[in-house]
Amino acid sequence: MIPISVVKLDEEAERLAVEVIRSGVIAQGPMVARLEREFAELVGVEHAVAVNNGTTALVAALQVLDLQPGDEVITSPFTFVATLNAILEAGATARFADIREDDFCVDPAALADAIGPRTRVLMPVHLYGQPADMDTIAPLAQKHGLGLVEDTAQSLGATISGRGAGSFGLGTFSLYATKNLTTGEGGMITTNDAALADRLRVLRNQGMRQRYQYEVAGHNYRLTDLQAALGIPQIAAYGGNVKRRKDNAGRLSAGLADVPGLRLPTELPGRSHVWHQYTVLVTDEAPVSRDEVIARLTESGVGCGIYYPKTVYDYDCYRDHPRVIADPAPVTDRVVRQCVSLPVHHHLTDSDLDQVVEAVRKAVGA
């Protein structure tokens, strides 16, 4: 089976992990500080604050914006559940704006239409490795005096007009095991606002600036030095790994360009895609259904996945939730029926890519 994602850590990660173990400082310490400095440089921001996972990053980013009961956060209905859970955990109400099919990200026009008197934060999701249209969304937030939190869990290193995703407002990142850069579990918050960065560092450490000097009601959101040691070597290699993913995406697109009923992902003008996922749409014009394609790919030894099978609020636990406002999202409703992601990771060989292309063509009947 060709897996849809692979985790491989090199000898430098092992060396740094052993260094941490032998140092006796295995909780948050100098290795976390080093990861933060190098991560901030990669994104192109002044500050990066490490936390224990990507969901925490979202929650903490919302918490430092001082949301009050009844305040609304507008986000995408086509996302992982962490986006919605974070809004609810921060005490806010979630609203949704439909997506665009060409980038799978929130549609700025729909976002503008959803802004109301209770709106306090816009939360675009940079999905699959391609960022949302921040050249339009960031000015929209500024015009209405709204907070801006970027869910950049899948798009580390992506850019909009040369500017890094996660640098327009408070950027939130996941370092989960399947991400392009991983510490197993972990997250990061990025910002150019020194005051917000300071508040985040206090918040993640039980509200302490110094030991037993409590300034706010805080939490334990800390990352460990052991986890940071795994991520640091990947930063130096990140550019090369993303280039390999781009090359792999190009080979897939070239091999699948003429498959009937299959809509391929593209890197839109002015934006760079880091190809966390290569997601196609099996449209209604295809001779077979999306689920049949998945069954045939699995049988042929090609891993694939549905990210995501429903709109994020289309589950019993959210359907009647008083702080989840599910506005119509017709584009998302169509995409969740048609989407399937194929292997694109940087560990694929040329032979693997040929096999993926051949399997997809046979599965669709091309």
DSSP string, 125-173: B--TT----HHHHHHHHHHHT-EEEEE-TT-TT-EETTEETT-SSEEEE
User: 89 - beta bridge partners?
Assistant: none
The Cβ-side half-sphere exposure at 121, using a 13 Å CA radius, reads 34
Cβ atoms within 10 A of the Cβ of 47, count?
A: 20
User: Residue 362 catalytic?
Assistant: no
Structure tokens at 336: 């969740």
Residues 6+ apart with CB under 8 A from 37: 48
- Using only C-alpha atoms, the chain has a radius of gyration, in whole angstroms, of 21
Q: Cα(226)–Cα(289) distance, rounded to whole angstroms?
A: 45
The H-or-E segment that residue 51 falls in is strand 47-51
Residues 6+ apart with CB under 8 A from 281: 101, 262, 263, 335, 338, 339
Separate counts of helices (H) and strands (E) for the chain: 12, 15
With the C-alpha atoms ordered 148, 154, 160, 162, is the resulting torsion angle positive or negative? positive
Point out the catalytic residue in the list 143, 179, 243, 310: 179
With the C-alpha atoms ordered 47, 65, 55, 138, is the resulting torsion angle positive or negative? negative
Residues 6+ apart with CB under 8 A from 50: 28, 32, 35, 36, 39, 186, 187, 188, 222, 223, 228
Do residues 120 and 72 touch, judged by C-beta distance below 8 A?
yes
Write out the catalytic residue numbers.
179
